[in-house]
Amino acid sequence: MKEITAIIRRDKLPVTKNALDELGYPSLTIQSVEGRGRQRGAMCAEMDSEMPDSYCTAVKLKSTPSSYALEHTLPKVALFVPKRMLTIIVPDDVVTKVIKAIIKVNKTGRNGDGKIFVSPVEGALRVRTAEKDGEAIT
């Protein structure tokens, strides 16, 4: 078994859930998270509502939402980009299929499309029925 953790854009959550459901893996955990990657949080498409529409044209090449917020009056300093983090446990033989489905619906070609991490899972147990491993994750 493997744990697939995908960090995706907020607006891509519905299509990602549908893609996983179509593959037969509707069970997942979703968390609201914030973070930043190489762009250090400077992403116009992912800004909170506090960022004015003029932000994208007003910033300099090296500016970030944090530095913009410090130089202007905003309700809060935007340090990180809001994202959704999905966690799904799948059998080893479908990991590639699940990853391809996640990439297919999330790839835009722009910074901030997300990351996918794959980790081994030593075991699983369903609390209600005491089913173990593969039976517990379906």
Question: What's the mean pLDDT in 126-132?
Answer: 94
pLDDT in tens, 1-51: 999 999 999 999 999 999 999 999 999 999 999 888 776 655 554 444 444
Residue 12 confidence (pLDDT): 95
Say which amino acid occupies 74: L
* Average pLDDT score over residue span 43-61: 48
Per-residue exposure over 29-66, b if at least 16 CB sit within 10 Å of its own CB, e if not: eeeeeeebeeebbbbeebbeeebeeebeeebeeeebbb
Average pLDDT over residues 42-61: 48
Distances (CA, A) of 115 to 38, 103, 119: 12, 9, 13
The one-character DSSP state at 132 is B
What pLDDT, on a 0 to 100 scale, did the predictor assign at position 35? 85
Name the percent of the chain lying above pLDDT 90.
Answer: 57
Report d(CA 15, CA 20) in Å as an integer: 9
Q: How far apart, in whole angstroms, are the C-alpha atoms of residue 8 and residue 83?
A: 6
Residue 78 has what pLDDT?
53
Domains of the chain by start residue, with CATH? 1-36+82-138 (3.30.70.120), 38-79 (no CATH)
pLDDT at position 64 is 56
pTM above 0.85, yes or no: no
Residue 112 CB contacts under 8 Å (≥ 6 apart), including other chains: 9, 37, 39, 43, 45, 46, 81
